[in-house]
C-alpha cells in the first residue's frame, strides 16, 4: 500500500472520531471512548473482510493480492491505534473511575460482565493477530493462516461487546451499523465457502533432488 493511501486511511479514521466528537456538546473522555470504540469495531471488521478477500479466489479476482493484503495488515494496525485510544479514554474518565482490571481481565467488570469480558477477550486476540504480521516468516505461511482463523471469533466477540455493552447500540445508526457489517461479513464467508480459498502451493519431490515448492 502506498504512503498516500495509508495517509488517507489514517485521516479517515481520525475524521470519523473527530466528527463523532463534534456532534456532542461536551467532548469528555467518555465520548472519546465511544468514538474510538466505534472506530475500533469498524477497523476490525474491515481488516477481517480484507483478510477474507486476500485468501479467497473471488477476492483475488477483484483486487490484486498484494494490495488487499496491505489493506488487511494496515487496517489491523489501525485497529490497535483505535483500541489504545478507546482503553486510555475509558481509564481517563474521572466520572466513570474504571479500574484497570476491568480492561485487562475478562470477567472482572461489574458492568455487563459478559459483554465487557467479550470485548477484553476480543482485544487480546486482535493484538495477537496483529503481532503475527511481523512474525509471518518465522511462523510460516501455513501456520500464519491457521492463526488468522481466530479472527472470526475475535470479530464475533467484538460484535457482542458493541451490541450489549456499547452505549450507541440502542440508536438507529448503531443498530444499522452492527446489522449491516455483520451481514456483509457473513455473506463473504459464504462466498469464501462457495468459491474456495487460495490453496497453498503444492510441494513435490524429485528423485535425488530434495523437496521443492511447486508453482
Task: Please say if the pLDDT value at position 22 is more than 60.
Answer: no
For the ranges 11-20, 77-86, 142-151, 160-169, the maximum mean pLDDT occurs at 160-169
What's the confidence (pLDDT) of residue 56? 63
Question: Residue 174: pLDDT band by 50, 70, 90 thresholds?
Answer: very high
Exposed/middle/buried for 134, CB within 10 Å: 0-12, 13-18, 19+? exposed
What's the confidence (pLDDT) of residue 115? 94
Rounded to an integer, the average pLDDT of 54-63 is 62
Task: Please say if the pLDDT value at position 206 is more than 50.
Answer: no
Task: Please say if the pLDDT value at position 127 is more than 50.
Answer: yes
The Cα–Cα gap between 207 and 26 comes to 73
Q: Which residue has the higher pLDDT, 122 or 136?
A: 122
The Cα–Cα gap between 129 and 144 comes to 9
What's the confidence (pLDDT) of residue 191? 77
Cα dihedral 184/5/86/180 (nearest 10): -10
What's CA 165's distance to the chain center, in Å? 18
Exposed/middle/buried for 26, CB within 10 Å: 0-12, 13-18, 19+? exposed
Phi/psi of residue 211, nearest 5 degrees: -110, 135
Question: Residue 19: pLDDT band by 50, 70, 90 thresholds?
Answer: low
What's the confidence (pLDDT) of residue 202? 44
Amino acid at each position: 500500500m502506498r504512503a498516500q493511501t495509508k495517509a488517507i486511511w489514517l485521516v479517515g479514521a481520525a475524521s470519523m472520531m473527530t466528527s463523532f466528537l463534534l456532534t456532542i456538546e461536551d467532548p469528555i473522555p467518555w465520548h472519546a471512548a465511544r468514538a474510538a470504540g466505534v472506530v475500533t469495531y469498524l477497523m476490525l471488521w474491515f481488516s477481517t473482510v480484507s483478510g477474507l478477500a486476500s485468501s479467497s479466489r473471488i477476492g483475488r479476482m477483484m483486487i490484486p493480492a498484494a494490495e488487499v493484503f496491505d489493506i488487511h495488515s494496515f487496517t489491523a494496525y489501525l485497529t490497535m491505534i483505535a483500541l489504545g485510544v478507546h482503553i486510555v479514554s475509558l481509564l481517563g474518565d474521572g466520572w466513570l473511575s474504571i479500574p484497570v482490571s476491568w480492561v485487562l481481565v475478562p470477567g472482572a467488570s461489574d458492568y455487563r460482565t459478559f459483554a465487557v469480558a467479550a470485548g477484553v477477550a476480543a482485544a487480546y486476540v486482535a493484538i495477537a493477530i496483529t503481532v503475527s504480521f511481523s512474525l509471518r516468516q518465522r511462523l510460516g505461511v501455513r501456520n500464519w493462516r491457521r492463526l488468522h482463523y481466530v479472527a472470526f471469533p475475535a470479530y464475533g466477540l467484538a460484535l457482542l461487546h458493541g451490541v450489549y455493552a456499547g452505549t450507541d447500540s440502542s440508536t438507529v445508526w448503531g443498530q444499522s451499523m452492527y446489522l449491516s457489517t455483520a451481514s456483509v461479513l457473513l455473506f463473504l464467508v459464504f462466498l469464501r465457502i462457495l468459491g474456495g480459498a487460495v490453496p497453498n502451493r503444492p510441494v513435490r519431490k524429485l528423485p535425488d533432488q530434495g523437496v521443492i515448492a511447486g508453482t
